[in-house]
Structures are given as structure tokens and as C-alpha cells.
A and B are shown apart, each in its own frame.
Chain A
Amino acid sequence: MDETTRGNVWVFIEQEAGSVANVSLELVCKGRELADRLGVRLEAVLLGNGVSGICDSLFSYGCDKVILCEDPALEPFTVLPFAKIIMRLIQERHPNILLFGATFKGRELAPRVASEKLAGLTADCTDLKIDDFEDKRNNKSYTDKLMQIRPAFGGNIIATIVNTWDDPQMVTVRPGVMKLGTPDPNRHGEIERIQANLDPTDLVIQVIERVRADKEVDLQAAQIIVAGGYGVGSKENFSLIRDLAQAIGGEVGASRAAVDAGWIDHDHQIGQTGVTVRPRLYIACGISGAIQHRAGMAESKKIIAINTDPGAPIFSCAHYGIVGDLNVVIPQMIKAFKAKH
């Protein structure tokens, strides 16, 4: 191994049936920024079977190299073989930073790897940057460490965490929070194929049945979102939210309260336990704006809040506030939009 294999920034690439997860591309963009800041290479770790078609896209978003492992035992995803291969790569090559998406797969895989490596791991980060760290308690200072920024304590605080032990510095990052850059189709890189070399002990978990469908809604890609909360009042009345979304060409979102009430499917939930979005326009209808909800939408470019309670916290992150009854306001919005459009 020459020196350029050590100390790099790595992104674990998540894929389903050969199609790359959005969060992985977001992490490639963030990883490029971190690698440039540190003067190291950005490498992707891609595991699966029949997934090499993803590599060009990874290069176009900024990867210098893809470490590719294809093996029939890696489809569908199970945690033990993935953890085994990543652990072996870490021990051979000592990356400085390793990024995972905070998805179902990432959140069960990353802790398994961190535990074996005895590495620190910070979950669900919403921002990452490079900075120095003064550990006053132990009187030690560290330079160029990864600042791992995450909401904690139910979203009531934002903590900056630093991993003070040996490499790698590992984090999972929430989907939708890192900006997706513009791909450059002329950018190319190197593919290194490696062997899986698995033992029977890595394959003890059997997948008996697997049922999945792509989500019907893609809130993270939506430029306009109309979201309803508990103030909508009933399942029937949620049609108002759908009507407005349809009229102005948006997707339908919801707060946890509306999902818990059974008015709309969990796929539509925005916030700490749902998805994080940053659309061009977010219209919050009858949403009080608990911190858990605001955590998932406060970065939207323009926010309109409609609520009967002028003291609702949602107004504190809104750009436009309408104190009024959504049953009256929404039809007026639809009418006004159609008249002017």
C-alpha cells in the first residue's frame, strides 16, 4: 500500500437493486468538500452484486476511486457480510473519515463496524466540518478533526461531537440535509475490484421473505410541499391539503401528529422521525411546529404557516404567517392561484 491509501475520506454507498440511494450521492458531495479541505482523496465503498453501473455516477459527483466488491452473497443486503468486508478494508487502509447514510441499513451497519474497530460513531448528523478541538478535561489538543454536528435530546439541543480516538472518524448522516452538487459527466476515476472472502459464519442470517416497494412520494426531491398537521382536524379534511398540493404542483407532507392520527401514511411524515426536506416552498397547514417537526423543514427556502393560534411556534420559522382557519384560507389560495395562473 502506498501512502495515498491512508487517511482518505470514505463514503459507504448504499444501493437497492443497483440503484444508488440519494443520501449516498449527497455524502459524496460533502465528502468531496471534506477531502479537499484535508488534501486527501475521496473514495467510495460499493458492495453488492451487479452494481458496477453506479460507478460513473459516483465519479461525476466527485469520487476519485470506487472500491468495488461484487458477490452474489451480498444481495440482498444483510448486515454481517457487509460489516465484515468494511472492517477488513478499514484495517488494511486506515481511512481518516467514514460516512454512512442514517438509513435503515446505515444505522444497523455503522454501529456494528464501529464496535469492532473500537471507533467512535455519531448518529444522525445534520452538518459536518473540519476544525481543531481542545479537550480541556484531558488537556489534549487535536487539529483538523471532524466536527460531527447533530440534534440531540429530542431535537432541543444541537451538539458538536468529536471522536478523539484513532481513525476512522465515523458518522451517519441524515438523508436530505447535505446539498447535492451538480454532477460533472467528464469527471472520471479509478475502480478497484476486491474479493468478498466471506466465511460461513458471515452468512448465518437467512432472508426468508422480502417485500418492498419504492415510496409513492419522494418528498426530498419535491420543490413544493404542502403539509398538514393535527389542525386539519380529520382524515376527510386532509383532502384540502391534497387539493392545494395538486393545484400548485406540490407533494403532500404531514406532521407526526397527523400520521399518528391515521389521516395519512408514514411515507409523508416530515421531521425528526420522518424525512428532512428543504424545498423551494413549504406550506404548513394546521401544524403547531413542535421542534421535532421544525428540525425536518426549517431549511426550506420559503415557509408559509397557516394556523388559528397566533402563538404557534411554527410562525417563528415562517417567512409568511397567516393567522386564520385553513378551511377558509386554503380554498382562497387555490382560487387566487388559478385566477393568476
Chain B
Amino acid sequence: MGYRILVFVKQVPDTQNITGDAMTPEGTVNRAALPAIFNPEDLNALELALELKDRYDAEVIVATMGMPAAAEVLRQSLYRGADRAVLITDRALAGADTLATSYTLHCCVKALGNIDLVLCGRQAIDGDTAQVGPQIAEKLKWPQICYVEEVRSLENGRITAKRTIEGGYEVLSSPLPCLLTVVDANSPRPMHARRIMKYKRAATASELQKRDPENADAAIAALAADGLLIEERNAASLGADPGRIGFPGSPTKVKQVMSVVLTAGEVKQVPATEAGIGELMHELISDHTLG
């Protein structure tokens, strides 16, 4: 019997390229104003899952929670080799902090059923918290191995993995099912040309609905027949408790957000000459900065 591996991925704003209208007046992120990308370490998690599929008999399912447009990272996962894709989208999920997000994603693991391994990127570049992975594991009452670099073996109901620790590494063995968070230690494979040809038409029902409302039903049926319909789940279909998702399920509130502005402080210009540098070093020695 093959392993069932679930990879959670996230579409994130590219925080390296911030523009002025990226923040709303309420202090939340205006995702529409930024280019959306596949969270980098989630690509490492997907790569690890696909490597396991190459080595063992395994099915790789990719799921994401996000706006309808997040279906794009699912298509990119299918291009790289994922077998199945699930989009979790629902207005009721908006405003979720890490606790509410991990609750929702743990509902997804349960709803899909019989999952042996959950893989997540260590952290997403929009929040950098690294909290969702361990919180999903706790909610499932599963063991976790964080900061995984590579999987050594998957056998006899146990996984053995090498992971980063402060100043070195550890090799840990855990029973399945287990959750791993994955760091940037492998090279994600490129998208496969033949798979792009096959999956570029893959879409969710709501994408088809939006594209052509009148003929949506026929289009959905046609895609489903070709095995190209990306599954959509909402909070109810995951069996999630409405009080534990989105804004109501989030204990942390944002009180205030401030942009980090470059304050033009007092910079003393030092001429790049022997005299200028000499004077600077003299000043630093005199005030005991250098010593």
C-alpha cells in the first residue's frame, strides 16, 4: 500500500518588492497590490514530497488555504509532479492568525483521511512565524520534526530524517503519521513541459464560474471528466467549527502597524581620502569606540 503525503503550500506576496499601497488603513496586508508567488520553503516541501514519491510508492496531494486566485500555486504544483490539488477557500477564513489557520488545516488533514505524512515549508515569507506547522501537528496529536533537510528512510511505519539544529544537525526517527517542516536544503525541480501541457487547463469550479458564468456547469463537467478539476473545500465541507476559524478563532489582534521608514538621520560624510579616513580613525580612538 502506498504512502499518502499531503503538502501544505501558500501563495504569498513577494515581500522583497514592496510598493506604497501594500498596507490597508486597518494595518492588514493589501495582497492585491503585490505580485503573488509560491512561498519559497513550500517549494522545498513539495520537492521533498516528490523525491519520496520517486523513491517509494506514494501519492502527493497539495492543498492551500487562500483566496480563489491561490489556485495558481496548485497548478504550479501539478506542473512539478503533484497528483492531486485541493483549494481551501471561504470568506469565513479571512483574518485567521496562526492558531485559526492551523485549526483549519488540521480539519483538512482529517477530511482527506489516511494521511501518513504532512509536509509544510518551515515558514512563509509574509509572516515568518514558523508556527503553523507545529500547531497543525499538535492539533492532530502527531509528532513533528521541524527544519528537515532530507529524509533518510521511510520504512516499517517510521520516518527517519536529518534536520538542522543550533550549530549542527540531528537525525530523528518518528512513527507515522508525522508532520515535517522543511527548510531550504534541496533544489526544487523545474516544471515539467509535458505536465504543463496537461495541467494548464486545470481550474477550480469558481474560476470557471468567474470566466464564463453561463456555460460554467458544462465546463466544470468537462474538466471533471478529464480529471483536471481542482477540488474546492470550504469551512463547512471540512467540518470546521465556525468559532475556531477566521477572525473569531484568532486570539491575536493587531493593535498598530507602522511602516519602517528610512529616517534621514545625521550622517557625517567622511571623504574617502587618507586625511578623511585618518581623522575618522582618530575620532574613534579618542572617544574609545576603538580601543
A116 CA to B102 CA, complexed, in Å: 11
Question: Which one of A123, A135, A316, A340 lies within 8 Å of B282 (CB-CB)?
Answer: A340
Closest-by-CB residue of B relative to A105 is: B166
- Which residues 186-228 of A sit at the B interface, judged by CB distance below 8 A? 204-215, 224
Q: Does A324 contact B (CB under 8 A)?
A: yes
Chain A hits for B169, CB < 8 A = 209-212
Q: Does B173 contact A (CB under 8 A)?
A: yes
- Are the CB atoms of B257 and A158 closer together than 8 Å? yes
Contact A164-B135, Cβ < 8 Å, known A112-B144, A205-B172, A211-B169: no
- Are the CB atoms of B129 and A153 closer together than 8 Å? no
Question: Which one of A103, A210, A248, A316 lies within 8 Å of B290 (CB-CB)?
Answer: A248
- Which residues 252-278 of B sit at the A interface, judged by CB distance below 8 A? 252-260, 262-272, 274, 276-278
Q: Does B37 contact A (CB under 8 A)?
A: no
How many Å from the CB of B111 to the closest CB on chain A? 19
Contact A114-B99, Cβ < 8 Å, known A156-B259, A322-B270: yes
Closest-by-CB residue of A relative to B23 is: A157
Q: Does B289 contact A (CB under 8 A)?
A: yes
- Are the CB atoms of A115 and B102 closer together than 8 Å? yes
Contact A211-B265, Cβ < 8 Å, known A107-B130, A165-B251, A332-B274: no
Contact A156-B268, Cβ < 8 Å, known A103-B166, A248-B290: no
A80 CA to B138 CA, complexed, in Å: 9
Question: Which one of A133, A280, A315, A333 lies within 8 Å of B277 (CB-CB)?
Answer: A333
Which listed segment binds A: B66-74, B120-128, B194-202? Answer: B120-128
- Which residues 25-54 of A sit at the B interface, judged by CB distance below 8 A? none
- Are the CB atoms of A333 and B166 closer together than 8 Å? no
- Are the CB atoms of A205 and B174 closer together than 8 Å? yes
Secondary structure type dominating chain B contacts: mixed
- Are the CB atoms of A159 and B254 closer together than 8 Å? yes
- Are the CB atoms of A164 and B252 closer together than 8 Å? yes
Chain A hits for B278, CB < 8 A = 332, 336, 339-340
- Are the CB atoms of B252 and A120 closer together than 8 Å? yes
How many Å from the CB of A335 to the closest CB on chain B? 8
How many Å from the CB of B104 to the closest CB on chain A? 13
Contact A153-B167, Cβ < 8 Å, known A121-B98, A159-B27, A317-B265: no
- Are the CB atoms of A212 and B167 closer together than 8 Å? yes
Q: Does A304 contact B (CB under 8 A)?
A: yes
Question: Which one of B128, B137, B266 lies within 8 Å of A123 (CB-CB)?
Answer: B128
Contact A123-B131, Cβ < 8 Å, known A162-B255, A213-B167: yes
Contact with B along A85-119 (1 / 0, CB 8 A): 00000000000000000011101111110111011
- Are the CB atoms of A162 and B253 closer together than 8 Å? yes
- Are the CB atoms of A321 and B270 closer together than 8 Å? yes
- Which residues 108-145 of A sit at the B interface, judged by CB distance below 8 A? 108-112, 114-116, 118-124, 133, 135, 137
Contact A215-B264, Cβ < 8 Å, known A328-B272, A332-B277: no
- Which residues 245-304 of A sit at the B interface, judged by CB distance below 8 A? 248-249, 272, 280-281, 291, 301-302, 304
Question: Which one of A104, A122, A313, A318 lies within 8 Å of B252 (CB-CB)?
Answer: A122
A108 CA to B166 CA, complexed, in Å: 12
How many Å from the CB of B97 to the closest CB on chain A? 7
Question: Which one of B135, B251, B277, B285 lies within 8 Å of A163 (CB-CB)?
Answer: B251
Chain B hits for A112, CB < 8 A = 134-135, 137-138, 144
Q: Does A160 contact B (CB under 8 A)?
A: yes
Contact A120-B16, Cβ < 8 Å, known A111-B130, A210-B168: no
Tell which of B97, B171, B172, B272 has the most Cβ of chain A within 10 Å: B272
How many Å from the CB of B190 to the closest CB on chain A? 20
- Are the CB atoms of A79 and B144 closer together than 8 Å? yes
Closest-by-CB residue of B relative to A118 is: B99
Assuming A120-B251, A321-B268, what are 15 further A-B pairs, CB within 8 angstroms? A114-B135, A120-B252, A123-B129, A133-B253, A153-B127, A157-B258, A158-B257, A159-B256, A163-B252, A208-B171, A280-B289, A291-B260, A319-B266, A322-B280, A336-B280
* A-B contacts, 12 listed (Cβ < 8 Å): A110-B131, A121-B131, A151-B260, A156-B22, A159-B258, A210-B165, A281-B290, A319-B268, A336-B280, A340-B281, A340-B285, A341-B285
Question: Residues of A at under 8 Å CB distance from B?
Answer: 16, 76, 78-80, 83, 103-105, 107-112, 114-116, 118-124, 133, 135, 137, 147-148, 151-165, 204-215, 224, 248-249, 272, 280-281, 291, 301-302, 304, 313, 315-325, 328-329, 332-333, 335-337, 339-341
